[in-house]
A and B are shown apart, each in its own frame.
Chain A
Amino acid sequence: MTKSRVSAPQFFSVLYLSVLSSIFMYISSPKTSISQTDSLFRPVAFIVISVIFAIPTYLVMKTVKEKATSGLRVNNKRFFFKIISGIYALVYFVAILRALARFDLFASSELFPGTDMTVFIITLVIVCGLMSLLGLGALARAGVIFTAIVVVATGFVMLSLFKDVDLLNFTPLMEQGFGRIFYDSLYFALQGAEIGIIMLFLPEIKGRIVKAYIIWAILSGITFILILFFTIGTLGAFADTQLFPTYTAVTLAEFGLLERMDALETAIWVLCIVEKVSLYFLGITNCLEFILPKISRRIIAGVCMGVVSLMLSFISADLERFYFMSYEPLVIALYVIPVLILPIALIIYLKKVKPYAENIPNN
């Protein structure tokens, strides 16, 4: 247990990479323009919404004071907890499919246009599945190193893009009205669905979680502002014609003899997606292990990898199926269920139905 416990900054470095991958591969809704200067408000809304919507999780944390021995995976056989764990597993299973389908779309559109990337994606599933078996400790330690690499590389790309920023590419503020900005910002904030997974790892995180979480939200927001600033500044209205505008912006970057910065960016994206999917796999394995205690973790992870691979092969075979993974109600559900509904249900259960004290085993 001690080996798998991680410090709050370590855990949130994994979460930073995870949310970064969502933004790198963010596809705005067809009604929304990414090239508007108003897009820069979206990360601000992301910070505010991430902090406000984390309140239910915080209340669960406060209710379950004995973090080390509690959390969702308390040695509790109650059916309710199994149901909750099952829903978490299902949500993050779909989240894995969505993340990898998006990456598949990116790889088959931008990296190797028109190429079937199924084998590559399945390889990625195996890598992530195996990484998740190493536990949260290994994942978090890798996360710290990956974060350093990602921050340095992204900063370098931004520096290279600086000379290509044209301020005339920006647009007047509030041009599309407050209502539009509000809707876009809300939709953008929903990309950060990983905050729901904190619940699954509360027992393993040591240190000041709330402080680390707020720092994470602010740093993520600042990173998004910078990414959007460079995307709008370099691409302007052209960004709206691109499936992955962030990537297109990077293709314009040059630094001396280095003319293909997109190769560097692709490596960064792979690191982010590996951390994200590994974390989700770990979360699912934990939940299913709790539901099915007699089955070994390796078997659970193996089955998950197999099912994810099969479903991705099915999605990858038809472009129409990618659209389903970006279906707005699905995106909303992937955020609202783990971030709001499940923590609120837990609070109600723990406070009103069955006081938590009754559930703590007598060790």
Chain B
Amino acid sequence: MRKIYRTISLMVLCSLALLNLSSCEKAGTELSDLMIIQGIGIDVAKEGYKITVEILNNEQSGSPSGDSSAENKTKIYNAAGDSVASALMKLTTKSGNKPFYAQNRVIVLGEATAQRNLTDVLDFFERNYDSRASQLICVAKDRKAEDIIRAKLLTDTVKSKILEKMLESSYEQSLVPRVRIVDAINTIKDDTTYLCIPAVAVQNNGANQDFTLEGCALFDKDESFCMYLSTDDARGLAFLDNNIREGFISADLPNGQKATFVIVKGKTHYQIIKENGKLHYKLRIDLVCDLEEVGGAEFFSTDDDFMEKIKGAAGASVAQLAENTLITLQSEHGGDGIRYGRRLYLYDNNEYEKLKSNWEKEFKNSLTSLKVQVTIRRIGEETFHSKK
């Protein structure tokens, strides 16, 4: 009796699991009936917003013959509406399928969209339960987001995936900050920080196109577009905002030689003091690097004097990069894109409360002193820089 009872229970539970848990998102919904969005481009249109989406071509992906040459891997749809949400909803009428946002990789904001208030654009992605906090955001510099989503890349692949990889690897190389939905919302909620979103473009490569990184777009604390930071200025952000991942440094040596280093790890330390009524940020950037290449030197030179020279040159190169970025941020259209205000908030909350209402001016008047300490870990394959 006990055995029969167990068998029946097991069968009932297995049947319930099979019937209810064997499809994606919704019971009885085939994958091919879902519009699996990979990338979303948002442009301004007469109605309000024009949305361009890249979706997986499920029918091709699920082809029993496995033939992937007949059709493209993705499809592009667009729709317009008076809000981002309504435009996205209208996509259903074009494809007949329900949009599925959980697999979306990137959100591209067109040039004109970036000029609008960011909160309005991103609100949908914050509220929608399907939308993931890890989606990356970028701005299409001097063009529409649609141009990015429709880029004719060399290979038939998921374009948004390539864009996502480019943004991720650029972040890993300390070239631009990584801005996910969570980062954008946090910065928008912060009273003093300006948001820096990576800017991308497409450039022709023969008959095809490639994505290129074009620095960053800077948004003020009211989420309005301020200016673009050049690629070099965007690189300096990582050093000033303690976001150093990996990457490379090129340094000019006094005798005209050139050295290239790979950053292994880095950290920026902050000290905030008040001097003559101005905030003074004392930054110490510690970098551990591997020497990759020295041009114009004696082959494999390792003497101490030479090593000290190249360490100094690497430090000066980083300091120059960071100083240039700081000058741009403290210029007329710039602002606190390096979270100085947030650091003051944690370091001295009372001082922050006094200054936050006038933070733009305080930031631009603040002083920064930089000290870069470079440690060379390796100078060549299997060779450590150590005194033997």
Contacts and interface: CB of A to CB of B under 8 A. Distances in A.
A252 B9 contact: no
Contacts of B342: 168
A170 B16 contact: no
Given A112-B25, A130-B9, A169 B130 contact: no
Residue from B9, B127, B128, B185 whose CB has the most chain A CB atoms within 10 Å: B185
Contacts of A109: 129
A19 B178 CA distance: 36
B182 A119 contact: no
Contacts of B116: none
Given A115-B27, A119-B20, A123-B20, A237 B190 contact: yes
A127 B13 contact: yes
Contacts of B180: 252
A238 B26 contact: no
A171 B346 contact: yes
B189 interface: yes
Nearest to A115: B26
Interface in A104-131: 109-110, 112-115, 119-120, 123, 126-127, 130
Residues of A contacting B: mostly: helix
Contacts of A114: 129
A123 B13 contact: yes
A170 B339 CA distance: 13
A248 interface: yes
A252 B339 CA distance: 22
Contact of B345 (A172, A234, A241, A252): A172
A236 B345 contact: no
A175 interface: yes
A172 to B, nearest CB: 4
Interface string B167-192: 00000000000001110011001100
A235 interface: yes
A110 B131 CA distance: 9
A119 B26 CA distance: 12
A260 to B, nearest CB: 9
Contacts of B73: none
A236 B345 CA distance: 14
B349 A251 contact: no
Given A238-B186, A241-B126, A119 B133 contact: no
A74 to B, nearest CB: 29
Nearest to A242: B133
Contacts of A243: 129
A123 B19 CA distance: 11
Contact of A175 (B20, B134, B182, B349): B349
Interface string B120-147: 0000001111101110000000000000
B17 interface: yes
A172 B346 CA distance: 5
Given A113-B129, A115-B27, A251-B132, A120 B186 contact: no
A305 to B, nearest CB: 12
Given A119-B20, A175-B349, A110 B133 contact: no
Interface string A117-152: 001100100110010000000000000000000000
B30 to A, nearest CB: 15
Contacts, number: 69
Contacts of B16: 119, 123, 126
A120 B9 CA distance: 16
Nearest to B17: A123
A247 to B, nearest CB: 10
Nearest to B16: A123
Interface in A216-235: 234-235
B88 to A, nearest CB: 14
B133 A248 contact: yes
Nearest to B127: A241
Interface string A297-318: 0000000000000000000000
Nearest to A240: B189
Contacts of A119: 16, 20, 27
A286 B185 CA distance: 50
A277 B349 CA distance: 45
A296 to B, nearest CB: 13
B90 interface: no
Contact of B133 (A113, A120, A175, A252): A252
B132 A112 contact: no
Nearest to A111: B25
Interface in A20-40: none
B343 interface: yes
A267 to B, nearest CB: 12
A120 B19 CA distance: 10
A275 to B, nearest CB: 17
A235 to B, nearest CB: 6
Contacts of A237: 185-186, 189-190
Nearest to A167: B346
Given A170-B346, A251-B134, A115 B25 contact: yes
Contacts of B26: 112, 115
A238 B21 CA distance: 31
Nearest to B100: A113
A239 B13 CA distance: 36
Contacts of B12: 126
A235 B133 contact: yes
B386 to A, nearest CB: 29
B129 A110 contact: yes
Q: Which 8 A-B pairs have the closest CB atoms?
A: A113-B129, A237-B189, A172-B349, A236-B186, A123-B16, A238-B182, A238-B185, A113-B130
10 contacts: A112-B26, A115-B27, A120-B20, A123-B20, A168-B342, A168-B343, A236-B186, A238-B185, A241-B127, A251-B134
Interface of B: 9, 12-13, 16-17, 20-21, 25-27, 126-130, 132-134, 180-182, 185-186, 189-190, 339, 342-343, 345-346, 349
Interface of A: 109-110, 112-115, 119-120, 123, 126-127, 130, 168-172, 175, 234-238, 241-243, 248, 251-252
Given A123-B13, A130-B9, 19 more contacts: A109-B129, A120-B21, A123-B16, A126-B16, A127-B13, A168-B339, A168-B342, A169-B186, A170-B346, A171-B346, A236-B182, A236-B186, A238-B133, A238-B186, A241-B126, A248-B133, A251-B132, A252-B133, A252-B182
